[in-house]
Amino acid sequence: MASSNLLSSSILLSLSPKFPKGRTGFAGSFPLLSRPKPPKAPNQWSSFTFATPKYSTNLLRFHSETRAVGGTEVKEASAGDDALVGEDSAAFELGEQKLASWVYFTVILGAVLFALDALWINPSTGYGAAFISAVSSVSESPEVVVLILVLIFAVIHSGLASLRDTFEKLIGERAYRVLFAGVSLPLAVSSIVYFINHRYDGTQLWQVQSVPGVHQLVWVSSFISFFFLYPSTFNLLEVAAVDKPKMHLWETGIMRITRHPQMVGQVIWCLAHTLWIGNSVAVAASIGLIGHHLFGVWNGDRRLAARYGDAFDAVKSRTSIIPFAAILDGRQRVPKDYHKEFLRLPYLTITALTLGAYYAHPLMQASSFGLHW
């Protein structure tokens, strides 16, 4: 719910199976948006066919009429109404997918990656090296440089997100998405690559990589963080603007645990990797990333309140920022078959991509080193 998700953010967020001495992996989390599947009727939430959840009668008591807000149907909630008013996250119905849409997505993805390489990454034709050089000229300290890179990304990313309504009225939803991704994606890649290349340049504060169990703890924490970091990447067709992008009010799945899963996932990831790397550069990067996502908590709630009004107030009243807080104090009533809200294709895809990133870490590190940023 906080900041939007960007396509390249999933490339570097887990640990490699074997680390060279004094090396390990990194990733920033700069998330994408997703596509909703509005609720149709009680007990008819669209989902991947083998994982249709059966919600309790109390949770599906709709006492009010639906209304369209920002292109998405939500429920009008009255005071004390505990019916679901938001959208079912990670809903995916295979039968409703169109082959042509995924062909368009593949073509657009290829075009974006080609443009990113030609205009930013490629040393001969891109501007990425010049950008890193300009930022690095500000200070010889890698801690300062990584903080500046994260700050630049945060200001542009959150700034454009805050101006979403204005830009969508001026140029339309799809054009805004292209603008948003076109500006944010190169900045995200720059921050990630710089960190990978300079993560061991700082002052070593502690060294626990040889302590038994630490590697496993960091790997498991990073793996779990993915399920918090990417709750809104469930519709890649909206990410690529094949479908009209929308601002969603999610309410099921991981949202029952925390209303701001991206922030929670980023905190988990930063703590785990800072523990592993144990130096001042990792601390600086973590401060920047966590600070950006904490701002996103406030900014995300503000934007959702402006867009959805009473519907967001109803969701806010029964969710929490701190994980599990709303469940423990009784504001969030979890259905008995809650696990089925996670047995869906988008979550299975996140699992596969996370494992793939784990084994691809040596290749990703070598690619970053080759850029000399």
Give per-residue burial for 330-351: e unless 16+ CB within 10 Å, then b. Answer: eebeebeeeebbbbbbbbebbe
Reading phi first (left if > 0) and then psi (alpha if -120 to 50, else beta), residue 130 is in alpha
Residue with tokens 């390249």: 8
Per-residue tokens: 155? 């200001």
Tell me the angle at which helices 280-308 and 310-317 cross, rounded to the nearest 10 degrees.
130
pLDDT value of position 231: 64
Question: Which backbone phi and psi does 67 adopt, to 5 degrees?
Answer: -145, 155
pLDDT value of position 257: 94
pLDDT value of position 232: 58
DSSP sequence for 16-37: -SSPPTT---------------
Tell me the angle at which helices 345-359 and 361-371 cross, rounded to the nearest 10 degrees.
60
Amino acid found at 238: E
pLDDT value of position 209: 95
pLDDT value of position 56: 34
User: If the chain, 373 residues long, is cut into consecutive pieces of 10 residues, what is the mean pLDDT of each piece?
Assistant: 39 38 40 41 39 36 41 47 78 82 91 94 94 96 97 96 94 93 94 94 95 95 88 73 87 92 95 96 97 96 94 95 95 91 86 86 87 89
pLDDT value of position 82: 58
Residues 6+ apart with CB under 8 A from 66: 73, 74, 75, 76
DSSP sequence for 136-191: HTT-S-HHHHHHHHHHHHHHHHHHHHHTHHHHHHHH-HHHHHHHHHHHHHHHHHHH
CA–CA separation, 173 and 107 (whole Å):
20
pLDDT value of position 276: 96
CA–CA separation, 217 and 226 (whole Å):
15
Residues 6+ apart with CB under 8 A from 370: none
Question: Which backbone phi and psi does 321 adopt, to 5 degrees?
Answer: -80, -45
Q: What is the DSSP letter of 89?
A: T
Q: Which of 38, 47, 46 is nearest to 73 (CA)?
A: 38
Q: Which of 83, 32, 68 is nearest to 307 (CA)?
A: 68
Q: Which of 161, 217, 198, 219 is nearest to 284 (CA)?
A: 198
pTM of the model: 0.77
